[in-house]
Amino acid sequence: MKAAVIQFPGSNCDLDLMYALDQLGFDPELVDHNATDLSDYDAIFLPGGFSFGDYLRSGAVARFSPIIEALKAEDAKGKIIVGICNGFQILTEAGLLPGQLMMNEHPGFICDEVDLQIENGDSNFSKQYDTNKINLPVAHGEGRYVANDATIKQLEANHQVIFKYLTNVNGSTNQIAGITNQRGNVFGMMPHPERAIEAVISSTDGKAFFTSILNK
């Protein structure tokens, strides 16, 4: 599966993501945020970091990059699009996912490993898991997922919530950690599965996230 990893000014998890994708059977390439065509790729990944220095708010400037219109064109085709941490923030700012990522409930940067519940094990991003509980790293200052009541009800009713925190990590509504759009091809999460593919650095709980995409 040919995968694009989008580099924004300030991206700092792009090479981590490239390594994970390469190790797990993808054919990844780095793509600059000024690119205007993503049609050659089977899946598109937006990595973590601090795009454009997180000025205004996380993802708010990146949403005006030329690559966003190309993302929207591939979304219309049903292509897999994944945003991790800052990538999730960019997807919400661009309107490709509902809701908003806000400052953590207790202001400050959280760097930890957290337990997650798999709420929907049949999605393109979770179906290779043989457990309903995993542990992944988090590293964010603006990771609190919020949305209006109607949006939250829709997300829950349509099984668009894929992962939830098992504890109150950042104040996210319903402890939501990762969601898809209604069609199920666009996904965003704050935890970092790319940092959990080798036991020597933390765990291997991120591997099935990527193999789920490969076997969608």
Q: How far apart are CA 134 and CA 114, in angstroms?
A: 8
Q: Is 85 a catalytic residue?
A: yes
- Taking the chain, what is the end-to-end CA distance rounded to the nearest angstrom? 11
Q: Which helix (H) or strand (E) holds 214?
A: helix 207-214
Q: What are phi and psi of 152, to 5 degrees?
A: -60, -45
Q: Give the SS3 label for residue 45.
A: strand
The β-bridge partners of 133 are 117
Active-site option among 85, 119, 140, 142: 85
Q: Is 156 a catalytic residue?
A: no
The dihedral through the CA atoms of 192, 194, 200, 203 has a sign that is positive
Q: Is 111 a catalytic residue?
A: no
Residues marked active site are found at 85, 192, 194
